[in-house]
Structure 1
């Protein structure tokens, strides 16, 4: 059997096996599974959960999953907000992310949702993952990952405050006007998550941070507000004293009392990931949190071409017109929701 067909068949088999474990309500069209490249597996599983209306996590999560699976040996499962009526990807469907059952075998969860209100059967695996104290990576809007809900008696509206270290607070930089630059915190410059990370530019602005306990957290990067959406733009002096935390590592305590770790960056729009060093930051954090060695310079080249859509709110109808399914973001495909700007 040709290698490409062998890989496709193997991927299809894994999807079928996963669906069997998830139950009858999950279709092969609802998620993506990326096997590690042949002869390059570490035996670990990462679940990436997209679902935000603004920052195109449905584009960035598959891109990151391809890098983590093909370059670093992880099996990766990517989940999406799925329109209940059509089965297409629709980030405005805030109450449906099929496949959270995959967290049962996950060694790491990368969370990129925004104000979701998921049903109990989809919240239960997230709650069990949290209760086990397993590690998270939080991207951008995961400070406000859930809008409401009391599944398990837990206050999901304050998941950001209790786990991530901050709920939604503010745009510290002017949205869509002032970009941001990651500045290394010198006392933590030798942390392995910062290996070969030195030049991060984010078109998305810097978030305001008010509640993070910066003594308990390890702040790795601060966000410097820039005057324009241009990596060469000078800083905006009045907004950089002090600079807000942009990336940090901290412990969290689950309701069970179990301790876990979370790595957070308030960067994370799909266009932000054009930055090689931001991609490396997430790969390094994934390796660190799953107990793998972090190389001096992790491979983060794109597996498929990546031309992300610019961030902004669009209507759910526009998504349904595109009729995008998770498979449209699979290996060998370069999909953006809108033409890059």
Structure 2
């Protein structure tokens, strides 16, 4: 059974009220819900017996971990997909949870930025159909060669279709053959305007890429395995919207990044809601870099990843 967004809000309201000592109006303000809703959630929490942590369910145990992770990392919201329940397979559960959370974060008239990759593609594939008003879905980075799976334009188009929203694709390559050509293409009025409007997004959906030999940038031919290993030696830790970031989540001044047609990373950081979804254990180091760089305000991870993150942040 999927983790329901309403259950997450219920547990979060109880956590803030009983553990943090916030008043009901303060809880309402923090969760962006009405005070009446807070009172309803707290009543349900008492009826369910979850206000006593020692007698809480496994869901609340995971939820306590989520609240602790929010406090430690300074995130707005964290959702945790358990791995130790036989009824749940994280590989199939993660996209379902992410699709539900993503849709719950969209508001009327929002501009939504979407990146690319296997995680985003699977989220799009399981996303329920909706009829959202005046929503626009925009591509955060340039495109890849036609044979490559999980292309940015595929992810953007499918999510827009599921939401009955307007989709805006960025019809330019992700990586150009020279820095000069990339600079000239970014200066073209159509491309310049599309990249500039990314700062107007209210929500972004993406994951963080790794720098392994089989990473997306290597598979699509943007970098060779040797190139990627050399970038790792120079401090590369992960990939955001096709661009390499270092261990502190900062844009790397390198030939690959200068040849990219992609959103300015500072523009992505200014997006109000930045929903990052990470499932693979091997993405721990890239995820740490992305969080340090301010690329996540909302986070969806597995229980084991959440515990690893909390342990690292508690160590300082």
TM-score normalised by L of structure 2? 0.32
- State which structure, 1 or 2, has the greater radius of gyration over its C-alpha atoms: 2
Higher share in helix: 2
